[in-house]
Chains A and B, each alone.
Chain A
Amino acid sequence: MSGARLTRREFGRLLGASALATWPGAGPAEGGAPQYRPAAEGPTLRVALVPCPDYGPETLAAAVREGWRSSRPPEVRGKRVVLKPNMVDVSADRPIHTDPRLLEALVLLLGDLGAREIVLAEGTSHNRDSEDLFRRSGYEALARRRGVRLVDLNYDDIRRVPCADPRATLLKEIALPETIASAEVLVSVPKMKTHKLAGITLSMKNMFGVLPGMVYGWRSWARPRRPASWSWATTRWPWTPRRPGSWDALAVDATAARVMGVDPAHVDYLAMAHRIKLGSLRREDIAVTVGRLDRARTDFALDPEYALLRAREG
């Protein structure tokens, strides 16, 4: 991943934008998919951009708490919260998965906020050796240390969910892991990075990892003639948030893309999500709190194939 040329310190500084998109439950929309409509009175979406200079536990705890407080989060008290990190693989020399120290800070915060249960859940998308990956990523040790359940979504029990929005997918239903389908709050905790097939990957594309491998295969290229990014965008969003108003995932990704020096409107799947009104990526619809976007921008090295994604504006 070319984005990994940034140092860990630089990654840490950008952490606030990359970290969190939350959904108050991930079930199918009832009565059709709600659609985002911009308000006339100004930005309706809020994204916290929190400086975080290092991965020390105190620094992370403070940053996560500030980011959570400032981003209009869902209520977690008494609820079952599922954390979905991004861990496709683990590399010894490049930070390509969500750092367990960030997850640990989040686990501690959610515990303080009264979450009834915290689950760490991932379904790796091409290497199905989750025992090996959970060990090497540090997730197994984290789960043991903090008493959270660690779930391999590829082999979880399945709930078949009808697709609410026929515009967003070719599938009439989708098989979701029970852990995801029954989550009361689902938190996407991605790794900000470039991607060889989609340009960049953030909180929305991270949800590709909830598709169970035992149903859809590991590394499924279902339609060889279609661009992969198109396929991902349509297969990842067959369901929509249960409660209208929880549109922030696209706003988080748009903001994180801008931090990376990428124009989100040029990223196929983000543009598509905007077009079908899953949210908004327009600057005027998004209030960035805590930090300033112009100060956080650090251009990630893009794959030459995706050079056109580079944002021209500041």
Chain B
Amino acid sequence: MMTSRLRTAAFLKSHQNPDGGWGYAPRRRSLVEPTAFAVLALQAGNETAAAGRGLGFLRTCVTPSGAIGLDPRDTEGNWMAYAALLAFHALGAAEEERRVKAWILAFEDASGRFSRSDIAEISTRFRYDASIPGWAWTPRTTAWIEPTALFILALRGAGVPAADKRIRSGIALILDRRVPSGGWNFGNPFSKGYELEATAMSTSLALAALGAAGVAAKRPEVAAGFRYLEGELDAGISTASLAWMLLASRHYPGIARRASGAASLLASLQAGDGGFRDNIFETALASLVLEDAASLKPAAGRIP
């Protein structure tokens, strides 16, 4: 009987593209995020040859400036850089790690481009502070919860201190955009006076980022976020959200009371061929989280 990790490795290796990368689904074009996570999962399982070929694909995607986006043709760079940084760090690709990290730390969102009146209008209509820098899906656009959380996870995983000003700012953005009744959505807690609903994926990622930055468990936003997620667990939660929730739970064992149940549920979603929903990224992410892999763990350091 193969272990879960071996089945995951078999699934990933059987779907590796000739260029060394993976798409989100089998037989799809290679992209940075699924490739980086497949590389991390294979490396964690000591499948170094397949991981090395994946790393080779990722190297072809890095521009001299350190920007990295969807694939080798994408020269502007985008949110997928977070995943590449995690992979370069885990596999010891020091030069690529240095360049991509520098690009991420210099990433410009739209916060510096808003006028005072823009910021005032956004504050009135959507009730958040648009002047706080975070990370966007694409450069020079508005920062949102999920890309900000993903970049914080990657930077902390790559050893950037929690006290770094970009990380502190990202954490401030996440806390500022919380939904008052608990949890987070994409980043608009309100629209024209109406509170907008939280979502499981945004909440899971926000809590994982707060945990990676060492934000204290006593913060009310943390407890409210987990209360929201526990309700979602009962209602039904997606594979990726469940995995991110489990990652977040590891930082807050005293609050995340249902972490073991979440782990069992996630493990039960693995198909016979080793995949999760026939999705490369979700398979690798679930495997890494279930195995409590070192590559998704942050360096030491806290924000009080």
Stretch from B4-12, B113-121, B258-266 contacting the other chain: B113-121
**B24 touching A155 by the CB < 8 A rule?**
yes
**A126 touching B29 by the CB < 8 A rule?**
no
> A196 at interface (Cβ–Cβ under 8 A)?
yes
> A43 at interface (Cβ–Cβ under 8 A)?
no
Interface membership of chain A positions 53-91, coded 1 if the CB is closer than 8 angstroms to chain B and 0 otherwise: 000000000000000000000000000000000000101
CA distance A305 to B121 in the complex (A): 14
**A128 touching B23 by the CB < 8 A rule?**
no
Interface membership of chain B positions 249-281, coded 1 if the CB is closer than 8 angstroms to chain A and 0 otherwise: 000000000000000000000000000010000
Q: Considering only CB atoms, which chain B residue lies closest to A304 in the complex?
A: B192
A224 with B186, Cβ < 8 A, contacts A157-B28, A217-B136 known: no
Contact of B240 (CB < 8 Å), options: A129, A136, A222, A303: A129
Stretch from A199-207, A208-216, A280-288 contacting the other chain: A208-216
**A129 touching B241 by the CB < 8 A rule?**
yes
**A217 touching B137 by the CB < 8 A rule?**
yes
**B201 touching A157 by the CB < 8 A rule?**
no
> B246 at interface (Cβ–Cβ under 8 A)?
no
Residues of A within 8 A of B192 (CB): 196, 303, 305
**B141 touching A221 by the CB < 8 A rule?**
yes
Residues of A within 8 A of B201 (CB): 127-129, 132
**A132 touching B186 by the CB < 8 A rule?**
no
**B186 touching A127 by the CB < 8 A rule?**
yes
> A36 at interface (Cβ–Cβ under 8 A)?
no
Contact of A131 (CB < 8 Å), options: B186, B197, B239: B239
Residues of B within 8 A of A128 (CB): 146, 201
Q: Considering only CB atoms, which chain A residue lies closest to B74 in the complex?
A: A215
Q: How far is the CB of B150 from chain A (nearest CB, A)?
A: 11
A225 with B142, Cβ < 8 A, contacts A132-B237, A155-B24 known: no
Interface membership of chain A positions 149-179, coded 1 if the CB is closer than 8 angstroms to chain B and 0 otherwise: 0000001011000000000000000000000
Q: How far is the CB of B247 from chain A (nearest CB, A)?
A: 16
Interface membership of chain A positions 127-152, coded 1 if the CB is closer than 8 angstroms to chain B and 0 otherwise: 11101100110000000000000000
> B223 at interface (Cβ–Cβ under 8 A)?
no
Residues of B within 8 A of A131 (CB): 238-240, 277
> A292 at interface (Cβ–Cβ under 8 A)?
no
> B200 at interface (Cβ–Cβ under 8 A)?
yes
CA distance A127 to B202 in the complex (A): 8
**A221 touching B186 by the CB < 8 A rule?**
no
**B115 touching A225 by the CB < 8 A rule?**
yes
Q: How far is the CB of A134 from chain B (nearest CB, A)?
A: 9
Residues of A within 8 A of B144 (CB): 217-219
Q: Considering only CB atoms, which chain A residue lies closest to B140 in the complex?
A: A222
Q: Considering only CB atoms, which chain A residue lies closest to B29 in the complex?
A: A157
**A217 touching B236 by the CB < 8 A rule?**
no
A218 with B146, Cβ < 8 A, contacts A157-B29, A224-B110 known: yes
Q: Which of B78, B237, B238, B277 has the most CB of A within 10 A?
A: B238
CA distance A157 to B27 in the complex (A): 10
Chain A residues within 8 Å of B, Cβ to Cβ: 89, 91, 126-129, 131-132, 135-136, 155, 157-158, 196, 213-222, 224-225, 303, 305
Give me 16 other A-B pairs in contact (C-beta within 8 A), A129-B199, A217-B136 excluded.
A89-B197, A91-B197, A129-B238, A131-B238, A132-B241, A157-B23, A217-B79, A218-B146, A218-B186, A219-B186, A222-B140, A222-B141, A224-B113, A224-B118, A303-B192, A305-B192
> 6 interchain pairs (CB within 8 A)?
A126-B186, A129-B200, A155-B24, A217-B141, A218-B146, A222-B141
Chain B residues within 8 Å of A, Cβ to Cβ: 23-25, 28-29, 31, 33, 70, 78-80, 110, 113-115, 118, 136-138, 140-142, 144, 146-147, 185-188, 191-192, 197, 199-202, 236-241, 277
Closest 6 CB pairs of A and B: A217-B137, A131-B238, A129-B201, A132-B238, A126-B186, A155-B24
